[in-house]
């Protein structure tokens, strides 16, 4: 399978990019990889890159985006940081990915049993990690379903917080970047949230974190999604 070209990237819509990722995860679950010659893809991309999606995920060793979405060299921008949190450098990287390099879709990918989320749930303070976990704390406080055992020992609580953290990150990406907001409102990109299950390998896309303006959502307005 060939790497994406400028032409194939340009012909994709955000919704099509999302479907490519869904199909890739389905292949991953069935252990049916697309046949790729990675050295050929090295040659295909030596003069440029045209990734169709940008994926923000955790540094967790089990959540490599290229693997779980069955993508090859030059297909996606992969941004990784503990707890898939958002900061200025990450948003700047996304602005490059979408405005300059033509990426069609931003995915915020959380996962079950996340160590960073567990640390935030337990209010861990340790060196520079303290500042990183503080960015997750609002999601901990926002989780209002769990009345007892609001600690890392409660797997349901942890995963609820992880899902809220995904939604907050997606909203911050839009709210903190005029460039990405304009691309989103013009329908040139989409922003979606998802959760990866480390026990099954399945990616579930969050229905309430689906910011795409296209033929299936023609009346899209950012005001409809802001909480």
- Is pLDDT above 90 for 222? no
Among 18, 8, 20, 78, residue whose Cα is nearest residue 212:
18
How much is the pLDDT for 214? Answer: 64
Give me the sheet containing 105-111, strands edge to edge: 76-80, 53-57, 105-111, 190-196, 203-211
**DSSP H or E segment with residue 155:** helix 155-175
CA distances, 110 to each of 80, 164, 195, 205, 213 (Å):
11, 10, 5, 10, 23
The structure's pTM equals 0.91
Strands 105-111 and 203-211: unpaired
**CATH class, range 6-224:** alpha beta
Query: What average pLDDT is seen over the chain?
Result: 91
pLDDT above 70 as % of the chain:
94
Question: How large is the average pLDDT for residues 181-197?
Answer: 96
Tokens of 23: 């199909």
Tokens of 214: 């296209």
- Is pLDDT above 50 for 224? no
Structure confidence at residue 7 as a pLDDT band (50, 70, 90): confident
pLDDT above 90 as % of the chain:
79
- Is pLDDT above 80 for 114? yes
Structure confidence at residue 217 as a pLDDT band (50, 70, 90): low
């Amino acid at each position: 399978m060939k790497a994406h070209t400028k032409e194939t990237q340009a012909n994709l819509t955000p919704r099509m990019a999302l479907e490519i990722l869904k199909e890739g995860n389905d292949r991953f679950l069935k252990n049916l990889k697309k046949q790729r010659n990675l050295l050929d893809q090295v040659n295909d991309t030596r003069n440029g890159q045209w990734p169709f999606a940008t994926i923000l995920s955790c540094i967790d060793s089990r959540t490599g985006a290229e693997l779980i979405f069955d993508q090859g060299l030059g297909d996606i921008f992969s941004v990784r940081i503990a707890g898939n949190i958002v900061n200025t450098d990450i948003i700047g990287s996304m602005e490059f990915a979408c405005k300059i390099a033509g990426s069609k879709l931003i995915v915020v990918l959380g996962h079950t049993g996340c160590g960073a989320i567990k640390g935030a749930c337990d209010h861990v303070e340790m060196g520079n990690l303290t500042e990183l976990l503080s960015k997750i704390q609002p999601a901990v406080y926002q989780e209002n379903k769990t009345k007892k055992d609001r600690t890392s020992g409660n797997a349901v609580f942890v995963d609820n917080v992880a899902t809220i953290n995904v939604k907050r990150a997606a909203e911050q990406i839009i709210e903190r970047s005029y460039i990405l907001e304009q691309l989103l409102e013009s329908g040139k990109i989409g922003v979606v949230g998802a959760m990866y299950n480390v026990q099954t390998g399945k990616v579930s896309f969050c229905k309430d974190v689906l910011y795409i303006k296209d033929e299936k959502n023609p009346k899209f307005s950012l005001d409809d999604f802001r909480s």
